[in-house]
Chains A and B, each alone.
Chain A
C-alpha cells in the first residue's frame, strides 16, 4: 500500500513569492493534515482538511492557506514568503475520525 506522497521534494523561492506544496493521502484516507517542522520549533500544526472542508487551523497567519480536492489530495499555499517560512512541510493523512496520522516525507521549502 502506497504511503502519503508529497511534491516537490525541495522548493527554493525568493522572499515575497508564493509557494504551492502538494500532498496525496493514503488510499481510503479522507483527512489531510499539514505541519511545519522548523529548526528549533519542532512540529507545528498548520491545517486540517476533511471531506473537502477546513476543520481546524493552527496559529499561523492567513497567508498560509490550502484546500482539499474531491480525490482527497491537498494543496498548501504560502503567500508573500518570508525568510522564516523556510522549513520542512509535512503532510499527514488519516481515516475520518481516526486518531492515527501517517506522515509523508515532506517538502523542504527554502526562502532566500
Chain B
C-alpha cells in the first residue's frame, strides 16, 4: 500500500506565485520527512527536510509545514520561478524495524511555472 500519499499530481502556477504540494502519511514511526526535486533525465536532488519535533522549516524560498496530529506535511515554494519547473517528491523514513533505512516516496507532483 502507498505509505505516503501526495497531491496534486500536477500543478500549474504563475511566475511569482506560491506553489503548494501536500503529503499525508499513516505510519507514526516515521521521523524524517524530506522533499526531493527531480528534473528530466536527472536523479532526485534533496531539497529540504524536516523532523516531527518542529512544525515549520524554511530554507530560502522553500518552506516545509508539518502537522504531526494530522500526519500531514506540505512544501511551499514562494515566488515560484520558471526554473522551479520540475517534479517534486515527498518522502518519509523511520529508524525502526523493517522500515529502517528506506525512504517511502509519494507519487510525485509535476510543477510547471509559467513566465
Whether B44 pairs with A56 at a CB distance below 8 angstroms is no
A98 to B80, CA, bound (A): 30
Q: Beta-carbon contacts of B4-35 to A below 8 Å, as 1s and 0s?
A: 00000000000000000000000000001010
Cβ-closest chain B residue relative to A42: B107
Residues of A within 8 A of B46 (CB): 100-103
A44 CB to closest chain B CB, in angstroms? 8
Interface of A is mostly: strand
Cβ-closest chain B residue relative to A104: B43
Given contacts A99-B93, A100-B49, contact A105 B42 (CB under 8 A): yes
Whether A99 pairs with B34 at a CB distance below 8 angstroms is yes
For the complex, is A30 an interface residue (Cβ under 8 Å from B)?
no
| Count of interface residues, chain B, beta-carbon cutoff 8 Å | 24
Given contacts A42-B106, A99-B34, A99-B49, contact A33 B101 (CB under 8 A): yes
A4 to B42, CA, bound (A): 12
Whether A4 pairs with B43 at a CB distance below 8 angstroms is yes
For the complex, is B69 an interface residue (Cβ under 8 Å from A)?
no
Residues of A within 8 A of B54 (CB): none
Q: Which residues of B contact A (CB under 8 A)?
A: 32, 34, 36, 41-46, 49, 89, 91, 93, 95, 98, 100-108
**Known contacts A33-B103, A99-B93; 5 further A-B pairs (Cβ under 8 A):** A33-B102, A43-B91, A50-B101, A56-B98, A105-B43
Enumerate 21 A-B pairs (CB-CB under 8 Å) in ascending A order. Answer: A4-B43, A31-B101, A33-B101, A33-B103, A42-B89, A42-B105, A42-B106, A42-B108, A45-B103, A45-B104, A48-B101, A48-B102, A56-B101, A56-B102, A92-B43, A100-B34, A100-B49, A101-B34, A101-B103, A103-B45, A104-B43
